[in-house]
Amino acid sequence: MVVKRLFIKASDNYDSNFQIVPVNTNQPLEISSQIGLFRLFINIKSFDGSKQHLSNSLYNEDDKQYLNGEKIDFNQSSKSKDPDEPTPNLRISVEFTPSENIPGGELNFGNDFTYPIREYVPTTLLNTGLKLFNWFINDTVKGDIYSEKPFLYGLALNSFSYIGINKFYPPGIVNKKSHPMNYIENLNQELETVPKDSNGRKKFFNTREKCNQFTFKKDTNYDFRFDTDFLKLADSKYLVSIPKFDLDVSRYANDTLNNVNWVIKQNGFDGVGQGKLGLIINFALEIEEDTIERSELVSSSEAK
């Protein structure tokens, strides 16, 4: 049987030097870029990745074997996170060390494509996607989803679910039931007027001018986290989930429409490839043959 499975890779550019991202291992993938060093971690609930992930990724966080059934070859360190913290469908975590000072109004985070999508996705769905991005993430998003290279970029300071300075795990959670969760933060160490919680920080940095009050300083470690339940990627599905409704985006996938990028870069708000590139994470759907061995592995992991 032919299936579509997720293949996730990362680089500092769109064309070369891509590395396979280990999923659910909490082992970092390091990417050196022209704006600084990135250490990337990705966690996905029930990750049934493509064949490229068989020997380096886990079905779920804390599993003891890779997708191919082999025992993990690293020691899982004790976690500093709250054990009662809910786990989102998708979590992208990044440790970023800038190589130069970067004004807060110049660092952005978002999605883009290196090919047009208007021919393959209904206009109503594109419009809905843009509205969802604005409603659920932030209202300072800039984008063009009808261009030859569509994009949706927001300011990093009000796009990430959590931002810390030398604090990979949030030191506390104000409200675990809020969507996204409201974390305790420490950006006030560098700018005392910044609220001490993630929801307050996102509201505070509501304009580029406000963001420019903050500076991502050279050689300082910044911790970014993007959590979402609006995407469901379990078992290589690609569902956009809104209250009481899941839309299977993968049904629109074809030989061209089969991948999307998550991007962190300096400037370049007006288009794909513009500005100083930092981290490019590519999520693709690979077509491959299903195997009995993999099915047995996934079933055993689900039974834990």
Per-residue pLDDT of the chain (304 residues; tens, 9 = 90+): 778 899 999 999 999 999 999 999 999 999 999 999 999 999 999 999 999 999 999 999 989 999 999 999 888 765 677 777 888 899 999 999 999 999 999 999 988 999 998 887 766 666 655 555 554 455 677 888 888 998 889 899 999 999 999 999 999 999 887 777 899 999 999 999 999 999 999 999 989 999 999 999 999 999 999 998 877 777 767 666 554 445 566 666 777 778 889 999 999 999 999 999 999 999 998 888 876 455 455 545 554 4
Query: Token pair for residue 14?
Result: 């769109």
Q: How far apart are CA 153 and CA 95, in angstroms?
A: 20
Q: How far apart are CA 264 and CA 270, in angstroms?
A: 14
- Planar angle of CA 121, 124, 127, nearest 5 degrees: 95
Q: How far apart are CA 184 and CA 201, in angstroms?
A: 10
Residue-level pLDDT at 11: 98
Residue-level pLDDT at 301: 52
Residue-level pLDDT at 295: 45
Q: Dump pLDDT digits (tens) for 150-204.
A: 888 989 999 999 999 999 999 999 988 777 789 999 999 999 999 999 999 999 9
Domain coordinates of the chain in residue numbers?
10-302
Contact between 251 and 240 under an 8 Å Cβ cutoff? The reply is no
Q: How far apart are CA 201 and CA 225, in angstroms?
A: 14
